[in-house]
Each structure stands twice: as C-alpha cells, then as structure tokens.
Structure 1
Amino acid sequence: MGELATASRRKVALATLTGATLEWYDFFLYGTASALIFNRAFFPSLSPAAGTLAAFSTFAVGFIARPLGGLVFGHFGDRIGRKMTLVVSLMLMGIGSTLIGVLPGFATIGVWAPILLVALRVVQGVGLGGENAGANLIALEHAPDDKRNRYAGFPQMGTPAGLVLANTVFLITSATMSPAAFTSWGWRIPFLLSGALVIVGLIIRLRVTETPSFAKAVADKAIVRFPLKEALSVGVGRLVLTLLLLIASSAVAYLFMVFSLSYGTTQLGLNRQFLVLTVTGASVLWFLTIPLWTWLADRNGRRGLFLWGSLVTVVWAAAYFPMINTGNTAVVVTAMLGMGIIISITHCLQGAIVADTFPAHVRYSGSSLLLQLAALLGGGLAPVISTAILTSTGGTAGVSVYIAGVCTVSLLAAIAVFRLNPLPAKAVVSPAVA
C-alpha cells in the first residue's frame, strides 16, 4: 500500500512538473519574442523605444487575462475537481501559442496583426491563470504532511524549466539560420513546436488521479455554490498582506527574464545570444536549487527561509542594474546567475503559503485570485513600468529604486503574514449545494 502511494505521488510530481513546464514554455516564448522580435514584426511603424514599449504592453495583456482565467478555472476547480480544469488550461495555452506561430505580421495584414496578437495573448493568459494555482494544489494535496513544501515545489520548478526550454529552442533556432531569416519567419518555429509538446503533456496529465482533499470535500458534501465568496471570508487583511507578499518574486523575475534582454541588447549593445544564454543558465540554477529550499522549509519551517530570501532579494534587486551597467561580461554573468539562485528561495514557497491560506474546499478559487493578481501587479507591470522609467529618465537608477521598493513592501508584508494566526485546522464549511 505504501509503495502504491509513493508511486502515485511520484506520478503526480512528474505530471505537475511536466504540465507546468509546457505552460510556462508557451508563456515565456512570448516574453522572449516581445523583447527581441515583436517590436519589428508587429509594430514596425514605431520608433525602437516605442515599439518595445508596445510589445511589452501586449506581453502585459497576458497578465491582465490571468486573473480572469484564475476566477473561471478556480471556480470549476473547486466545484468539479482539479484534474479536468488543468487539462483544459493546458489545451488553451497550446492552442494560443500554436496560432501565434502562424499569425501574419503587420506587413501582411496591417493593424489586424497586433490586434490578433493581443487576442491570442489573452487566450494564453486565461490558460495560465487556470494552470498556476491548480498545479500547485494537485501536487500539495497529494503530499504527505511532512513534505508539503517539497511537493508544492514541483510545479514551481516548471517556471524555470519552461524558461530554459523556451530559450534553448529560441537559441537553437536563431543559431541555425541567418538573422534576417530568423527575424522574418524563424521565430515562429518555437511557437509551432508547442502543439506537439502539449500532446505529450496531456497524455501525462490525464493519468493523474483527483486529489484526496477534493475527494474528501465531495464525500463530506462540502462543495459550495460560490467558492470564491467563501474564500474571501478568511479576511481582507490576510488577503491583502498575502497578495503583497507575492508581488516581489513576480516583479523581479520578469525584470530578470524579459526586461534585461531588451535593455541589454538595445541600450548596452550586449550580444543577444549571450544574454539569452546567460538567462538560461541562471534559470537552470533556479530549477536546481528549488528542491534544496523546499527540503529546508519542510525540515526547519518556511517562515525563516522565506523572510531570509525576501531580504536577500531586496539587496540583490537594488544591485542588479548597477552590475549589468558595467558591461563587464563576468559582472553581468554574476548578476544574472545570482538572480537565478535568489529568486528561487521565495518563489518555490509561495504556492504552499497561498494554498494554506484557504480551506481545501475553496482553495483553488482563493489561490488563483491571489496568485494571478500578484502576477499582474508584479510581473505584468514590471517590464512596462521599467521601460517607461528608462525612456523618461535615460537611465536605470529609477528602475532600481522601483524594484527595490517593491521587494521591500513584500518583505514587510511577509513579516506581517507570518505573525498572523494560522488558518484553523477545521475551517467552517458552508452548507453543501445539492
């Protein structure tokens, strides 16, 4: 019996990691392309700076759509189960990415090109909005009590794994053809590859069983008609503080993964492939260190590790752009590799922290709302705000102040969250809906 349970949990870990990796692969392809390609392919009539800002704005649209996806998938995830909602979310992301791969550019269909690009970005955002919290829950709710952080870390590993996969495919594609061919049509290949990868992900994900927590909620007749309404009853103060706790990780990650590529190539004249390769290497460290941090959290408690990681993030975020601005290859590599290690500390724990904020029968709805709002306010706005600051001031000092300030707010919120009383073990459950 114990061996069967262990095998089942390993299958869940693999399924959540694989599915999350493919979802983030699709999402990050768009981020890389928006930093390097979309300003010319879809906004050629704008200046380079304005085109980049427009491309990042379409990137941010995906984050605006994520809360919508979180609300829809969260509702049905708490009503009909986690498994099928995750299958649908993966299909949505794959369809959106594949269609971007065949979307004509501005030179072919004019203004319809950026309009359709935005529409497909919305599809991606809705899909990821359902995936993010759901993958965390299906892993955490299958976990043994003494390994909750570790299991919740598996879908979090999908974030850097997706970035590594996206950048690797991007690098290989760009390296095997001329710059003109890559800019003209080669960038489409990574998006078209998404269709095949999603089929693999679906096969793996369909083999996963429903979570014990949801099965128990069904058995106890604890399913409610409006799960989000009950999720909000945990209290406005707790919700706001938890939201603020999450923002820094998302904002820093997208400055590092997306804005750095655009800034490094257009402002500092750094080689595009060098930057993509360095970000990819940093993401490998991000991926590899998550099991270490989650193991430490299970062993010693997540509070101290999360607060320590938040403090280090403030310091490194403030130093990041001064290090990048040196233009020295060794310093740039150090800045990015260090960011990869540091981001992982808080990022790998936030799924478990958010999930434990809510009772199991409304956990999907509550977690989705917080995670997607944090992604919008943090990661969705960070490249746009940073580009606007850079354009208006001509330097990155303001960007450093902005990101260090965001990290400080998250650190203070984390201190407050960990001082709150934990959610009662037996939360009040609303009457079941027939």
Structure 2
Amino acid sequence: MTTRIGEHRSKAQWIGGVVLAAALCWVLVWSVHPSRAPEPAPAAPKASAQEAPPSARRAASAAAASTRAPAEDPAPIIDEIEVEKPEVCAGEENLITVRSHTTNGTDEYLHSVIGTRTGSRVPLRVWPEMDGSYEMPTISVFGRNNVVTRIEVPRYKVNACKPERIVVITHRLLPSTPGEFELTAQIVGVGLKDKPDATPFKPASYAWVFDDGGSGKTKAPFVTHSYERRPQTALVSEFLIRVEVQSEAGEKLTGRALLQIPNTMFQDLAERGIVTIAATPTPRFPRQDGDGVVRQTFRLWHHGDAPVRIDTVTAVRHYAGASSASPLEKASLSLVEIPPGQGVDVDVSLDTVREPDVFTITYILDGETAEGHAARGTFSLMKPPPAPTKESSTPVTEPVLLAKIKRARELLAQEFVTDEDIWRLEREGKMADLDGSPPPAPAP
C-alpha cells in the first residue's frame, strides 16, 4: 500500500584503556551537530606555485567554511509514504518507507524518525491497547539545521491476532573499529501463550543480508560485518538488515532491522572542507611482545578519488599518571601520500623498556588533496595493560567459571582470555556442558 502525499509542511588502569582503544582507529577531526551545521563551503580552487603556502590556504579554507553564516532552510517535502501491508497481526513487522526531498538541494542532510525508530525504512510494530484500539506513530523528516516536517503514518489495520514468534535483531559497534558491527538475532515467542501445544522451534541456521551487497550464513545467532568503507555522501547511511532463521524441521522466520550510521567524514568535507584520514588497526587491540615492544599496523585510508599528499606527521606522548602530554615532535612514518581505495599500511611501535612511562603515542597527520582541501587524521598506539599476575589479580575459585576460562584458552589458543571471549563461546554453544545443566532450550 502506497500513500502519496502532496506538499505537507510544518514548521539525537582498563576502563581508560578501552576509551583510548576506541580512538585508535577513528579520526578525531572535529564534528558539528546537524542543528548547528553551517552551509556547505565550495571546494577550494586549485592553487598555483606563486600563491600562499599550502598551510595558509588550508587554514583560510577551513576558517571560511566554519564561519560562513547558514541560510534559512525550508522544511523538507514528503513525497511518498509506502506501507508494505494493508493489515497485520499485533506486533507483526510492517515496513514503512518514507521518500522526501528538499527545495534547496540539501537532500544529503535528510534524516527521519518513524515512531521511536530512526530511519526512512523502518520495520514498524504496532501493539494495540487492551481494548483493541491503537494509534499510528508520527513520521518526522528532518532537513539541514533540523528543520522538520511531521505527518502520521497512514493508517493500516492491526488485527487482534499475534504471530507465534518474531525475530528481533540487535546490533553493537565493536570496540576499536571504525564501522564493524556485531548483529544478533533473538527469537521471541509473543503468541505462544495462546498456543500451549505449539511445536518448538529449533534454529539450525541464520541467513543474513547486510544491504550493502554482502550476505552470510551462520549456525550461531550472531554475525559480524564491517560497514567502515560505506560511501559517505550523506549525513547518515542506512542499511536494512535482514535475517532468515531456519529450524531443524525446515520452518522459517524472518526479521529485519534498520541500522543507521552517522557519517562524520561527510560532515567534515561538506562543512569544513576537510578530507578525513581514517585508521584501522591490526590487531584490533595492541599487543606487547616478549621483548617489551608494542607493535601495531594501521591501515590509513580516505574516501577521496585521488591520492592525499601528506605534508607533516607529528607525534605526542602521553605519560601514565601525568596531567600533561609531551610537546609535539616530528615523526617519520615514511609516508608521502595515501592512495585512494584500500589506502596504505604503516607500522608503529613503542619500546616500553626504553620508555616505561609512556602510555600512548598519538600520531597527527596533516596534508592536502589535489583540489586544495585540507586532509587530516589521527591515530594512537596504546600500551596494553600489564598481564595479570597472582599479586595483581584475584584468583578465580568458582569451578564453572574456572572451567570456562580453561576451555576458552584451549579453543582460542590464548594465554589470557577476556569476558567477551567467554561470552562469544557461550553463545556459540561451546560452554553448555560446563554449566552442569543441559544445553540451553531451543527457541520457543
């Protein structure tokens, strides 16, 4: 069912280590909330050798972009609201799709909220009241500077029936990644209390569609997928994730969820004329070798179509327990330019024997594109926390947890394991026999 709308207008030491680890791979170039976003600046003209030096041109370009007064933005126009089904059961998904545009050419700033869910394509669930009545949620479409147009979701019929089971997809951004998410599918029995004799649903496989051209199949109810290389041509990127769960008996259940990811690289270029240099670490968390040296590789990349020339690389050292950092100093990464596409790898290290008090080294990159835009980015190499010892740790005495730690060390071939390692193995069913109880019951 599609509802067409005319022009409707009306006037979001380890705790500190985790925080720093999140900064390892994401650039710390300034961002501005859409409600305060200035009007995009024009691309800087290509300079000749006789003009001001690159640093002066970049500073002038960034200053002009940040101080330009924003124009009054008109409210977005809602063109169409598409309702997937004319009627559903209570709690059943019904995909609502909103299409809209702006009258001043700023469609890249459009973002929507449908009910309580963000996005322009939302699998909506409506739950009637006890008396069977229900209200349609409101659709809010925001433009640049958060000017908004609101309208109610076109009414469709919500019957008193309930699906036996629904699939709920949740997601979380993995730490120390610029865009890798863990997606989890949970089967929830919503209508089973009305059907006590319903056949149990025993999941056998999960088929995932990530809405970026990728897909995957797992036996466990979760999967990881990276969206870090998504095109950043708008304020947000949207991905309608889908999972089909098949039972051992061949039955199928389907669930969907919209993943909305803010695009800070888009904001930096559109609002400040700055091309952001991103950094992806390998391994995700730093490791210290037996000789006391911390080594990590960072892949540096950007979304431009041409190479980015690197003019300067500086470094600042942070010391454990110190209230201030060292002065900026020139650093050598043997880095001349960062090509488009996959980018380039750089290796960095920290000798903890020679510099025992250094906690983090942050590298700051400054360069320029062929179009004259400033290019900036940072990444940090962090000293990992010391390995646990008998003196610094509380011994594990609980038998089941101790058995799980030993199992995880064997399965992962690691001397030390984390809570997250154990949780992941538990969800994969590799710890069920250690609980002293039968494996978890199948989904209802």
TM range (shorter): under 0.3
Q: Normalising by structure 2, report the TM-score.
A: 0.21
**Larger strand percent:** 2
Q: Which has the higher contact order (CA 8 A, sep 6+)?
A: 1
**Larger helix percent:** 1
Structure with max Cα Rg? 2
